[in-house]
Chain A
Amino acid sequence: QVQLQESGPGLVKPSETLSLTCTVSGYSISSGYYWGWIRQPPGKGLEWIGTIYHSGSTYYNPSLKSRVTISVDTSKNQFSLKLSSVTAADTAVYYCARATVGAPYSDYWGQGSLVTVSS
């Protein structure tokens, strides 16, 4: 059973960097698949942030690309998100998810982590 779990601070100050980690269990990241981040502001829809392959290849949303870094640590079976220079507009539930290579729909999702940007 594949499971994903987000972890990280729930409160980040404006202009600082948001950091989240997704720990994967039940499947080895290095065995394949894409691993990605999606966010959802309160009461709003879903926004794709970016995706990484176990080799380190990345795809980012152009609207966030200048502020986003996604990395993978296969030894810990984790991947991470860093979003710099955050503002209140970055307040959202952040989900990590697994996606199929070549057809990147997400079949497994974490439960989500609410990150609030506030001083």
Chain B
Amino acid sequence: EIVMTQSPATLSVSPGQRATLSCRASQSVSSNLAWYQQKPGQAPRLLIYGASARATGIPARFSGSGSGTEFTLTISSLQSEDFAVYYCQQYNNWPLTFGGGTKVEIK
């Protein structure tokens, strides 16, 4: 099983500032990495797939990068609606596995 590790666990950012979230895989997942956003009481929402492709309707301020074992989600200028928990998921191998999440909170 591929273990996904996200850091930091909590990120405090001021509105308008940049947020950089990290995700590391215990072995290479190529570019088979997705990012999801989850707000309280809601289902996760797909943001990024293929490590860097934005899902339909996702604003350009969200960008993903990386390959192999190291990945980054960047939110270029945080808006109020972006404060949430973010999860990475690898889909290179079964079983599918998620990282533990990064909570982005208002500073």
A residues neighboring B (CB under 8 Å): 45-48, 51, 59-63, 95, 99-100, 103-107, 109-112
**Which of B43, B87, B89 has its CB near the most chain A CB atoms (within 10 A)?**
B43
Q: Say what secondary structure dominates the interface of chain B.
A: loop
Q: List 21 A-B contacts (CB under 8 A).
A: A46-B36, A46-B44, A46-B98, A47-B98, A48-B95, A48-B97, A51-B96, A60-B95, A62-B95, A63-B95, A99-B91, A100-B49, A103-B32, A103-B49, A103-B50, A103-B91, A104-B96, A105-B46, A105-B89, A105-B91, A111-B43
Query: Which residue of A is nearest B100, CB measured?
Result: A45
Residues of A within 8 Å of B89, CB to CB, are 46, 48, 105
Query: Which residue of B is nearest A111, CB measured?
Result: B43
Would A107 and B46 be within 8 Å (CB), given that A45-B87, A46-B87 are in contact?
Answer: yes
Would A109 and B95 be within 8 Å (CB), given that A45-B101, A103-B32, A103-B50 are in contact?
Answer: no
Please tell me if B1 contacts chain A, counting CB pairs below 8 Å.
Answer: yes
**Which of A99, A109, A111 has its CB near the most chain B CB atoms (within 10 A)?**
A109
Please tell me if B55 contacts chain A, counting CB pairs below 8 Å.
Answer: yes
- Give Cα A95–Cα B87 distance, bound, in whole angstroms: 15
Please tell me if B25 contacts chain A, counting CB pairs below 8 Å.
Answer: no
B44 CB → nearest A CB, Å: 6
Residues of B within 8 Å of A62, CB to CB, are 1, 95
Q: Which 5 A-B pairs have the closest CB atoms?
A: A105-B34, A109-B43, A48-B96, A46-B98, A105-B49
- Give Cα A23–Cα B95 distance, bound, in whole angstroms: 24
- Give Cα A41–Cα B36 distance, bound, in whole angstroms: 17
- Give Cα A100–Cα B56 distance, bound, in whole angstroms: 14
Would A48 and B44 be within 8 Å (CB), given that A103-B32, A103-B50, A103-B91 are in contact?
Answer: no
- Whether A104 lies near B91 (C-beta < 8 A) is yes
- Give Cα A31–Cα B44 distance, bound, in whole angstroms: 24
- Whether B32 lies near A48 (C-beta < 8 A) is no
Q: Which of A45, A47, A110 contacts B43 (CB 8 A)?
A: A110
Residues of A within 8 Å of B87, CB to CB, are 45-46
Would A107 and B55 be within 8 Å (CB), given that A45-B87, A46-B87, A62-B1 are in contact?
Answer: yes
